[in-house]
Amino acid sequence: KSWVADDLRAAVDKGTAPASIMSDARLRVIYNTNLRMARAAGQWQRIQALKVARPYLMYSAIGDDHTRPLHRLWGGIDSKATRVILPVDHPAWKWYFPLLRWGCRCSIRQLSEADLKRLGLAVTSDAELRRIGWKAELGIDEMCRDSWAFQSANPDGYPDD
């Protein structure tokens, strides 16, 4: 039971729930998010199984108009961007392992030492993480409110989803 369920239940009881509550677009957004969450859970299991051979994770963002500015920064897309690369067991992944917030389409790529050398990449320093805002700003309640706000503002989801 959550504040979202309580608010929705109250809106339905009062007859003030928006018609988009069960729209095809809303259900598609929920389905896609649940599908991505399930994929992320399976991916985390594979990451743990391979972390001895591939001990690093690289944050990857899609660089289109729907990508949040911070996600573009963390994914190395913008000019001032730093591609975030951290050890698998770095505590930041507890907060920043995709999916991040509602509608997030970011992903993770697992890398070995040889991959880092071949690609000319390096592990991101803690100082750089602070510079780019890699810190937990939202707790679970705030993330739920953000999800509800996104859905309320975008009842049809993204146009191309």
pLDDT at 1: 47
Tokens 């000019």 belong to which residue? 79
Q: What is the mean pLDDT of each run of 10 residues along the chain (161 residues)?
A: 61 69 72 80 91 94 79 74 86 75 78 96 88 65 66 65 45
| The predicted structure's pLDDT at residue 161 | 45
Nearest to 57 by CA among 69, 72, 40: 40
Q: What is the pLDDT of residue 87?
A: 95
The tokens for 133 are 């805002």
The beta-strand segments (E) located in the chain are 56-60, 85-87, 107-111
Residue 119, pLDDT score = 92
Provide the pLDDT for residue 4.
57
Comparing C-alpha atoms, which of 142, 49, 39, 134 is closest to residue 93?
A: 134
Is the Cα torsion angle 122, 126, 130, 135 positive or negative in sign? Answer: positive
pTM passes above 0.85 = no
- pLDDT number for residue 30: 76
Kindly provide the residue ranges of all beta strands, DSSP E only, lying in 112-147, ordered along the sequence.
Answer: none
Gap between the Cα atoms of 120 and 105, Å rounded? 25
The first and second tokens of residue 13, run together, are 């009881």
Beta strands in 1-159 (DSSP E): 56-60, 85-87, 107-111
Predicted local distance difference test score (pLDDT) of residue 115:
97
